[in-house]
Chain A
Amino acid sequence: MRKLLVVTAREYLERVRTRWFIIATVFGPIIIGLLLFVPPWLTSRNTASANLARIVILDATGTNLGNRIAAELNGGLGGDTSLTEVRAVPPARLAEAESLATRQTVAKSTRGYLVLDSNTIAGRSARYAGTNATSSADMDAISRVVRDEVVAMRLERAGLDPFQSAALANMHLDLDAERITDRGRGASARVSIFFAFGVAMLLYISLIMYGQAVLRGVIEEKQTRVAEVVVSSVSPIKLLGGKVLGVGAVGLTQMVIWIGVGFTLMKVRAQVLGHYGVRITPINIPDISIGAALLLLAFFVLGYTFYAALFAMVGATVSNEQDAQQAQMPVVMLLVVSVFALAPVLSAPESKLAYTMGWLPFSSPIIMPLRMSVVSLETFDIVIALVALACSCYIAVVLAARVYRTGLLMYGKRPALREVVRWMRRSH
């Protein structure tokens, strides 16, 4: 037991000390941070410019549409309309007025100009030209104002009083608000799918990453021949056990840091962005019960042990990294198959495929957490998956230990599969 701890401690400390670990552990949160903060910030940069109103309106409609739009652009009635210059232009002189406005825009005395004509009154089109014409947010804002005012004016013309028409014209604002709540609901479903997929991918990446770390550790010990000294002090089984535990502990450390930082960032996200004037819909992390979290942990630990044993087995049969690349393919394929099943399982979490992949030990560590996060599963379903995984885990560890014990001190040519099977059969 003491020796197992010594081996585990070495594996853990040496790995945590490496530059790779520090970089990965620091960069994980940085990437999470970038994902959480940069997109909303970029979007906010894209929202309508504050000085959207600093434009010229060429009103050739012969109505007060230009003035109404100017007022609306500056915060409605009572707004300061000094930024916006409305020029009433007879339709015949529109071209002349436009070229003047173009020169002013180029000279930067205005940001651009909005042309209103009979087409606008008819509800067909308005034109805008300006330095900010490529900003979709600005264009959206302007076109919304124009649309609102045209609708209101047409309603007034149809005989409704200005208040009624304003209420009707602005009705779609209410609709918009409703859509936001609607999207909010839709978003929560999407968040849970996003979350499920994220968990599954995180599991996949960590299984492969830490599994390969075990593989490389085994090869290093074989290649440097240090294995022989070490196994003269500690049994190969304990050496393997310590390695798997140590690397697993490194994995957990890293995940705890990542998940911890991720959750914290997610929580303070709205506040921090709000501080910079960016408003966002908060992401609601699906509530995870303690039981579900423990199940998740169980699947990770068992899955990791299962794959670490397989990777260690591969490591014990090869003598260098090149051979390892080839020899690990079957193990990696098992993981890749699970990832290919993600989308179909996600769209039908209670299909036959979902059950099968959920129970098979090589895919259950990835598929079960995915299914768990999107639907609530029956107890028998979870129990079957866990028991199957635990049993396979035990078998994998025993076989890996046998292969490891024999393979660890074999250098040179890669043994044939038949030979490896013989190693597995030897119980001592």
Chain B
Amino acid sequence: MPEPAVEIRNVVKRYDGHTAVRGLSLTVPKGAVYGILGPNGAGKTTTIRMVLDIIEPDEGTIDVLGMPNNAPGAIDRVGYLPEERGLYRRMQVRRVLRFLAELKGIGRREADRRIDGWLERLGLRTAERDWGNAKVDDLSRGMQQKIQFIGALLHDPELLILDEPFSGLDPINAQTLQDIVIELRRSGKTILFCTHMMGSAERLCDSVCIIARGEKLIDGPVAKVREEHGGRRVALELADGRVNGVAAVLADRTLVSKVDDANRIFDIELAPGADAQLLLRRLVESGANIARFEMAQASLHRIFVERVGAVSSAEEENINA
């Protein structure tokens, strides 16, 4: 197995009064798009800041690209787009980008060449107008986001860390960013990103890790996570509102362990060992007018809601007890 891009081992980070990250371990394979998913306050940003050596963990170790993350030069191979975005507002765009590149060890000339390339590619440098010469303040929000993104990529990092990359982006910019992420992955780069938006995670990620309250709940390749943790599901849609017989069938706990009822559409989780074909037969026998009966895998969204919700309610019970 090739060395992982990021290896986090038993990392703990305590702040005054609370523990942000508790004993977190995870491995980001090289060349993967890896998503850290979690609700707000789950410890995602803290984890990422520790990976980037912005803050130090109280316990545990972190390796980045095969070396300890505080080793000289390790972080220079990483690009970072933080959730809280911002640039020096009174600085000229080109100078900001040059500054960010120089911090990563790129020479001035090479930096300028790359800056022009990226500005052109993202439509910020055209025959009519070169936004590179404008002040950051004169740029629209969307343009500033693009500049920030360029800043994270200028040094051609092997590992790109994106914290909530799509928040606040309009659909066009979000698509641009997504395209670039996919292209980077194709060229063998590793992308680690944090989000609580499951849709984008599901589309982009090869592997995910769901964390809540600073702890890892699930991790692994997306397909495996869905298979193992989503349970077997059936989407059922009725053609009319006659549901009397159906309700009785769905109440059978040997067949069905859980049902989400949205009037005529049911999201059914099969009981362990239950046969979907048997369920279908029973439904037909009950006189249901079936419009759709479909075997489905759980979405990350559902897994997320269920697992994170379970943690929350367990915690509440603890508090009540």
Contact = CB atoms under 8 A, between A and B. Distances in A.
Given A10-B99, A225-B85, A228-B84, A233 B75 contact: yes
B82 A6 contact: no
B153 interface: no
B87 interface: yes
Interface string A205-241: 0000000000000001101111011111110000000
A224 B86 contact: yes
B272 interface: no
Given A224-B87, A226-B87, A419-B16, A232 B52 contact: yes
A375 to B, nearest CB: 46
A250 to B, nearest CB: 15
A234 B16 contact: no
A225 B84 contact: yes
Interface stretch (B3-11, B100-108, B114-122, B257-265): B100-108
A225 B82 contact: yes
B78 interface: yes
B76 A233 contact: yes
Contacts of B85: 225
A422 interface: yes
Nearest to A217: B88
B34 interface: no
Given A10-B99, A233-B103, A422-B16, A409 B88 contact: no
Contacts of B152: 229
B191 to A, nearest CB: 15
Interface in A328-372: none
Contacts of B103: 3, 6-7, 230, 233-234
A428 B82 contact: no
A14 interface: yes
Contact of B86 (A6, A226, A233): A226
A229 B82 contact: yes
A226 B56 CA distance: 20
Contacts of B151: 229
Contact of B104 (A221, A228, A231, A233): A233
Interface residues of A, number: 25
Contact of B91 (A14, A223, A232, A422): A14
A124 interface: no
Contact of B105 (A2, A229, A419, A422): A2
B86 to A, nearest CB: 3
Nearest to B70: A235
B145 interface: no
B89 interface: yes
Contact of A226 (B88, B102, B104): B88
B168 to A, nearest CB: 12
A51 B95 CA distance: 64
Contacts of A229: 80-82, 86-87, 100, 148, 151-152
Question: Most B CB atoms within 10 A — which of A14, A18, A223, A228?
Answer: A228
B54 A228 contact: yes
B49 interface: yes
A contact face: mostly helix, strand, loop, or mixed: helix
Interface string A416-428: 0001001000001
Contacts of B91: 14
A411 B86 CA distance: 14
A221 to B, nearest CB: 8
Nearest to A235: B53
Nearest to A228: B82
Interface in B62-102: 75-76, 78, 80-82, 84-91, 95, 99-100, 102
Contacts of B54: 228, 231-232, 409
Contacts of B80: 229, 232
A221 B52 CA distance: 18
A224 B104 contact: no
Nearest to B91: A14
A428 B89 CA distance: 31
Contact of A232 (B82, B86, B105, B148): B82
A233 B100 contact: yes
Interface in A390-427: 409, 411, 419, 422
Question: Most B CB atoms within 10 A — which of A14, A225, A229, A231?
Answer: A229
Contact of A220 (B81, B88, B102): B88
Nearest to B76: A233
Question: Most B CB atoms within 10 A — which of A230, A233, A411?
Answer: A233
A236 to B, nearest CB: 8
Interface in B132-165: 148, 151-152
A232 B79 CA distance: 8
A7 B104 CA distance: 12
B116 to A, nearest CB: 20
Contacts of A10: 95, 99
Interface in B283-309: none
A230 B82 CA distance: 10
A223 B100 CA distance: 18
Contacts of B82: 225, 228-229, 232
A409 B49 contact: yes
A52 to B, nearest CB: 59
A197 to B, nearest CB: 36
Contacts of A6: 99, 102-103
Contacts of B100: 229-230, 233
Nearest to A406: B55
A428 B53 CA distance: 12
A132 to B, nearest CB: 56
Contacts of B75: 232-233
Nearest to B52: A232
A223 B89 CA distance: 10
Top 10 A-B residue pairs of the complex, sorted by shortest distance between their CB atoms: A225-B86, A224-B86, A233-B103, A225-B84, A232-B80, A228-B82, A6-B102, A226-B86, A232-B52, A10-B99
29 contacts: A2-B105, A6-B102, A6-B103, A14-B90, A14-B95, A220-B89, A223-B86, A224-B86, A225-B82, A226-B87, A226-B88, A228-B54, A228-B82, A228-B86, A229-B80, A229-B86, A229-B87, A229-B100, A229-B148, A229-B151, A230-B100, A232-B54, A232-B82, A233-B76, A233-B103, A234-B103, A409-B54, A419-B16, A428-B56
Given A6-B99, A229-B151, 12 more contacts: A2-B105, A6-B102, A6-B103, A14-B88, A18-B90, A221-B88, A224-B89, A226-B88, A229-B82, A229-B100, A233-B100, A234-B103
Interface of A: 2-3, 6-7, 10, 14, 18, 220-221, 223-226, 228-234, 409, 411, 419, 422, 428
